[in-house]
Chain A
Amino acid sequence: MRRIRFWGTRGSLPVALTARDVRRKIAAALRDAAGRSFVTDGEIDEYIDGLAFDVAGTYGGHTSCVELETGDAEYVVCDLGSGLRPFGQAAIARHGPAAPQTYHLFVSHLHWDHIMGLPFFTPAYIPGNRVIFYGGHAELEHALRRQMEPPSFPVPFSTFNAAIEFVHLEPGRVHDVAGMRVTLKRQHHTGDSYGYRFEKNGHTVVYTTDSEHKLADPEESAGFAEFFREADVVIFDAMYSLAEATSVKADWGHSSNIVGVELCQLARARQFCMFHHEPALDDTAISKVLAETRRFEEITRTGAALQVTTAYDGMEIRL
């Protein structure tokens, strides 16, 4: 396991920056420049690198799609959100359309935001490619076919010319996929969702999204801490604040930054990566939550420090 690459990090629904958002970022950058002048591109880059991320960048708007670079030639991806489209284009650009590739696609659950990218996944239409879907849901194939049926979509699933396979995974069992040790855990979410733990060459990545932690049962929390045990990175559904997740949005199937940090501390994980951002939050709001979560980790730290990050479309984590 070498690297994690995020292609889609938004929860529930894709979002896009508006002209107004871009204008606000440009205005903030110009204000910050305060009359400075730039001669070379290098000076411009240096200035941009010094700006806050919510001014110079954006967390992005594609729904869940995360690539794991395992060090193997075969591709491994978690979830088929709208980020799957740019992932597929990048893979084709890298190898050319004629070189056959294998894609291992793990599906957390069948909600729309986690499967909507599949109809736009070009490698599935190319003969010679191999596309293997993995998941804990018995209805996985049905759900993927149904979203491409009329009147919802003009191109049926049967148009895929790649070799398509479905592999049903059982929670609690160890699966060997693409040289990785893969285990999954059933999570609280309408219709169930599954978290994945991927291990290879001494590195561990946990992908746990669309998962509500009820907090009432200490054994349940201990079970998740065990699932996250000493992971290098835990990619965690931190969609809501703890107050929202325990009140108005209780039973909506999502969790918070606070619970994520606590579970990762309990698990002695090394990095907590917030994921599945609430569509209503703009870049400034997500940056604020990141700063607050880092502070929360600091004031609750008992052992080694837990690194706190928040995912954005295009972000890479080197392992």
Chain B
Amino acid sequence: MQFASRHYGNVIVAVPSGRIDHAAAAPFELALAPLLGNSDASGLVLDFGSVDYISSVGLRVLMIAAKQLRARKARIAVTTLQPVVAEIFKISRFDAVVEVFPSLRGALGALSPEARDAYDAG
């Protein structure tokens, strides 16, 4: 698994890639941790466009992130799920835990118009 992140306005966009399987879950959790503590951010969007697979342990990390963000009234969303990952979200009912958007721009717009403007400005 690879991991990158950047800001658009007050929203953090995290971009993991590869397989978030049992071996990758711990590095994924470690990579996310500093982003969850950022109290200036109003939300976190996970761009899953390059994620091929996520296992139960990876989804558990997402649940921990969702709980932590919600505790400080921040939002969490995922975008651009590959078809197989979208199915895993549906079957595990994680599509009811985190908001799922077809595009990164759409997710940013839903979380914060300011973030979408920053995205549009490049």
Residues on A facing B (Cβ under 8 Å): 215-216, 218, 221, 241-244, 246-247, 256-259, 262, 292-293, 295-296, 299-300
Contact = CB atoms under 8 A, between A and B. Distances in A.
Q: Which 8 residue pairs are nearest across A and B when measured between Cβ atoms?
A: A241-B93, A243-B93, A242-B92, A292-B91, A246-B63, A215-B60, A243-B97, A296-B91
B93 A246 contact: no
Contacts of B84: 299
Given A241-B92, A292-B91, A299-B84, A218 B22 contact: yes
Contacts of B55: 262
By secondary structure, the A interface counts as helix
A258 B91 contact: yes
B119 interface: no
B56 interface: yes
Given A243-B96, A246-B63, A258-B88, 12 more contacts: A215-B56, A218-B22, A242-B93, A247-B97, A256-B56, A256-B92, A258-B91, A259-B56, A292-B91, A296-B87, A296-B88, A299-B87
Interface of B: 22, 53, 55-57, 59-60, 63, 67, 84, 87-88, 90-94, 96-97
Contacts of A295: 87, 91
22 contacts: A215-B56, A218-B22, A218-B57, A241-B92, A241-B93, A242-B56, A242-B94, A243-B63, A243-B93, A243-B97, A246-B63, A247-B97, A257-B91, A258-B56, A259-B56, A292-B90, A293-B91, A295-B87, A295-B91, A299-B87, A299-B88, A300-B53
A215 B91 contact: no
